[in-house]
Amino acid sequence: MKGPGLFSDIGRNAKDLLTKDYTCDREVTLSTVTASGVGITSTALEKGGLCYLDMSSEYKHKNTLISVKVDTESNISTTLTLLKALPSTKLAISVKLPDCNARKISTAFKVSEALPYRKLAVSVKLPDDPLKLKLQYFHENATFATVVCMKPSPAIEFSGTVGAKGVSFGAECRYDTARGKFRKYRAAIGMTSKYYHAAFILADRGDTIKVYGLYHFDKKQKASAVVELTRKLSKNENTLTVGGLYTVDAQTTVKARLNNTGNLAALLRLEVKPRSHLMISGEFDMKALDRPPKIGLALALVP
C-alpha cells in the first residue's frame, strides 16, 4: 500500500521497542506442519497462578483456509476463509461453540482493492451484534480510514494522515451520532528516516501529550535507543521512559527499559534454532529492592 501510513502507525516503532515482548508470564508455544499441510500450534500459558492451554490448527487447500482453535474452557472457534472468492476479495466465516445455541455467526468480507488504492472490510455477527464497516484509502501523500459501527449506538471513527519525504501529519476522532458529540480526538506529527523515528501525539482531548524518539546507531539497526515522555496536563504529571536494544549477533538480542518511577525491565531473546526462540524477561522496582523481581519466560519451537 502507498501513502504515509495509517494514523496508528505514527510512533509505533518506538512504542513497540518499549512494550513488545515484555512479559512476566510463563509461556510455551509449539508449532509444526504435517506432511498433508496441516499446521498445528499448541500454547501453554501460566498467568497469575492460573494455567491456560490453547490448541489451533490450520489447513489451506487452493483458495480455502480452515482454522480451528480449542481453549481451556472448551470453546471451539472455527473459521472458514475463502481467498479470492471474487476478484480482489476475501470472505471469512467463523463459528464459536458451545455458543452455537445463540446462533451467532461472525462473518467478515474484505475487498482488498475494489478500486485503486482502496481497502474495504465489512464484518457482522448474527443475530444481534453490530454491523461494522471499515474503509481504508491509501495514496502517495495521504491515507484515510473510517470505521462505522451501526449498533447499539451508531458511532463513526475517522482518521487521516498526510505527508511526504518522511514527515506525516495525522488526526483521529470518534463521533457518536446518538448524542451528536465527538467522544474522542487525537492529533499527531511523525518524522522518520533510516536512523531515527520521532512522534508528537496530542491525546485525551488535548489533556495528554506524548513525545517519542527512536534513534538507530547504525544502518543495520543493531543498536537503538528510545525515549518516551508523557505529560498529563490536568494532573501536572510527567512520566519518562528510556530504553535500548542491542543485537549481539544473529541469534542474540537484548533490550531494556527504565522509567522515572524506578521500574526496570530487561529482555533476552535467543534463537535456539532457525524459527525457534527463547525469551527471558525480568522486571523489578528499584525503589523497593526487598521485593522479589518478576520473571517471565516464553519459548516458541518450530520443528
CB neighbourhood size of 180 (10 A): 7
- Around Cβ 32, how many Cβ atoms within 10 Å? 12
For 66-112, how does the pLDDT look when each residue is reduced to its tens digit (9 = 90+)?
Answer: 888 888 777 787 887 777 666 666 666 666 665 544 445 566 656 66
- How many Å apart are CA 89 and CA 223, to the nearest integer? 41
Report pTM: 0.77
Q: If residue 17 lies in a helix (H) or strand (E), which one and from where to where?
A: helix 12-19
In angstroms, the CA 284 to CA 287 distance is 9
Q: How far is CA 272 from CA 161, 236, 303, in A?
A: 41, 46, 11
Q: What is the DSSP letter of 85?
A: S
DSSP secondary-structure letter at 13? H
What topology is assigned to 7-301 in CATH?
Porin (2.40.160)
pLDDT, tens digit, 9 for 90 and up, residues 100-135: 444 455 666 566 655 566 665 555 555 545 567 777
Place of cell 464459536: 96
Q: How far is CA 293 from CA 10, 46, 51, 243, in A?
A: 33, 17, 20, 19
Pair 123, 107: CB distance under 8 Å: yes
